[in-house]
Amino acid sequence: MNSEFLPPVAEQLFRDIQKAFLETSQIPDDLLMALKFVFGPCALQALDLVDQRSVTCVSSPSGREAFQVIGGSGRCYTCFSSCHYCPCPAFAYTVLRRNEGPLCKHILAVYLSQAMGVTQQESVSDQHMSTLLSGTSAL
């Protein structure tokens, strides 16, 4: 996922989480507190999505990549690696409209699952990826 949209403190936090999780398979309390401080209430919800293994990286032979996150309601949200966007209502309202946070729980779950190395992987055809990217299909 492209992290150029995140402040440097968030990028460092993900690196620290990656290092700690690699060493202990856990996120220490101080990093959990930092996560909550930086990302607010969506941090706990994102961690829950990661615990449920709800994040899948979908890739095609042409090198295109997207992330699909199964939300708490069971709905699948497609987040793109090339931009900082999620089609969920929380992203539209909280991030885009009210500018109350940098991202929604689905995008945060993508960053966290990558940092923790627990992202599911799925390969699809270029045709299926094209359908997915046009928003007409979910896996």
Q: Give CA–CA dist 28/19, Å, rounded.
A: 11
CA atoms within 13 A on the CB side of 32: 10
How many folded domains does the chain comprise? 1
Tell which residue, 112, 114, 138, has the closest CA to residue 124: 138
Domain extent at residue 42: 8-115+126-133
pLDDT of residue 84: 80
What mean pLDDT comes out for the span 113-138? 86
139 found inside a domain: no
pLDDT of residue 95: 83
What mean pLDDT comes out for the span 79-88? 81
Confidence of residue 94 (pLDDT cuts 50, 70, 90): confident
51 found inside a domain: yes
Confidence of residue 139 (pLDDT cuts 50, 70, 90): very low
pLDDT of residue 82: 67
62 found inside a domain: yes
69 found inside a domain: yes
Strands 120-123 and 65-70: unpaired
Report the chain's mean pLDDT, rounded to a whole number: 88
1 found inside a domain: no
120 found inside a domain: no
138 found inside a domain: no
Q: When comparing pLDDT for 103 and 30, which is higher?
A: 30
26 found inside a domain: yes
**Token pair 């939300």 is at which residue?**
71
